Structure 1
Amino acid sequence: MKSNTTFTLLILSAVAHAGETMAPMPPQEPMSAPLCESSWFAGLGAEYLLDAEEMYYTGQFGYDMGCGHSLFLEAGWVQEDDSLGGFPFGVNVEVDVIPVTLNYKYEYAFTRQLGFYIGLGAGASYTDIEVSAGPVGASDDSWSFTAQAFAGLTYNVSENFSIYGGARYLWLDDPSVFGVSVGNLDDVGLGGGVRFKF
């Protein structure tokens, strides 16, 4: 008898709820993918080369492929000017080095503003040397294979403007001047710069 009463209550409850309509479930928001917008960019930088004890200036132009990947061309310039005493007229040596490299950079964003970047590049460096002693002078130039690696932090000041700071390792393969091999040259630079997206 007790089981029949329970069964009857279950049927009555089902009949009472039969006319009710269930509220529709709210639509689910799609999962958002990380921002992977592409854009062109240009930048300027300045670094201090630790071995050469000279400033190294760079300009970049490249394409941000999105999702942290970018390719860019970079041209740099450093000049070293030495005066050697002990000669009747004195000897002045001026060396200009202009590396031109194609680079790959990967950037990982910690937040919307702050990120970490790392990259590699390869290309060639133009080395020009001028030696003068009083009224007499001579000059020579050469091209040599160049490679570099770099890493640092970047900060997005706005959607189209960012600043960065980090370190670079620059390597030149055996430039030759006046028929004499200088040997492999390398240096580490510390500095930073700015980038503009457009």
Structure 2
Amino acid sequence: MKNTLVTMMTGLALAATAQAGEDYSAKAPPVPVPEPCLWTWFAGGSGGYVDDIDNDMWTLHIGKEYKCPGSNSSHALYLEVGWTSWDEGDSLYFDVGDNDPNFNLDYDFDVIPITLNYKYESQLTNNLNWYIGAGAGVAISEIDISITNGGNKFSDDDSETNFYGHIFAGLVYNFTESFEMFGGVRYLYMDGTDDYEDLDIPGVLDDDFFYELGARWNF
């Protein structure tokens, strides 16, 4: 009888231990695996107005954005190509007085800025973000120069590559995860072109502001 009682108590103890182990294992939560930060591609373009030269400017860009799940901000690197043109005329005097100018100077510019840019973007509301950034590169200028003196006319053309840079800021509105529109302003800097026939021709996009509106697609 004693042996039977000991055997029954031992069996109950083993069963209780096994049941307790099963309950503990069932209640243990799985270890969450954090989602990785991702680089995603985007492409877009913009158009707008350059105030000093009183003309339009157009850009296209492509790059990658780095964002972590749960974060309200992102970082982006992208390559951009722009285009604008400018016509300018001037009168040159080589003597003092109220005489007519000795020469009339006209020059036409086509400028293609190419830059590598960094952009930081952060959330304001569910769909509205703000951004700031900067970029640097070169500006390729095609210059056509025409000088007239009475019935005499001289013309020439040249191509130059100069340093170009900008800083920018603005707002982004996300219509969907893959499509957004943005608007902002840039401050532009461009080195002047080399002197031509002792004429100092300034950089077309130097010390200018560019007001732009654009769209971007995220892939």
* Greater C-alpha radius of gyration: 2
Matches within 5 A, 1:38-187: 38-67=39-68, 68-82=74-88, 92-132=106-146, 136-176=154-194, 178=196, 180-183=199-202, 185-187=206-208
Deviates more, 1:181-190 or 1:78-87: 78-87
* Shift in alpha-carbon separation, 1:38–1:73, aligned structure 2, 3 A: same
Shift of 1:51: 0.9
Shift of 1:133: 5.9
Q: 1:46 is matched by which residue type in structure 2?
A: G
CA RMSD of aligned residues (A): 3.2
Paired residues of 1:140 and 1:178 also in contact (CA < 8 A)? no
Normalised to the residue count of structure 1, the TM-score between the two structures is 0.74
Indicate yes or no: 2:214 matched with 1:193: yes
* Shift in alpha-carbon separation, 1:112–1:38, aligned structure 2, 3 A: farther
Shift of 1:93: 2.5
Consecutive unaligned residues of structure 2, counting only runs of 5 or more, are: 1-25, 69-73, 92-99
Paired residues of 1:128 and 1:142 also in contact (CA < 8 A)? yes
Sequence identity percentage: 36
Q: 2:117 is matched by which residue type in structure 1?
A: N
- Superposed CA offset, 1:99-145 (max 9, x none): 11100000001233110000011111111111246875210121111
- Superposed CA offset, 1:48-78 (max 9, x none): 1111111111111111122510000111111
Name the residue aligned to 1:17: none
Shift of 1:82: 3.8
Deviates more, 1:46-55 or 1:78-87: 78-87
Q: 2:87 is matched by which residue type in structure 1?
A: D
Q: 2:176 is matched by which residue type in structure 1?
A: S
Consecutive unaligned residues of structure 1, counting only runs of 5 or more, are: 1-23
* Shift in alpha-carbon separation, 1:182–1:131, aligned structure 2, 3 A: closer
Normalised to the residue count of structure 2, the TM-score between the two structures is 0.68
Give the distance between the partners of 1:172 and 1:83, measured in 2 at CA.
20
- Superposed CA offset, 1:12-46 (max 9, x none): xxxxxxxxxxxx98969x7x98x954311111101
Paired residues of 1:117 and 1:152 also in contact (CA < 8 A)? yes
Q: 1:96 is matched by which residue type in structure 2?
A: D
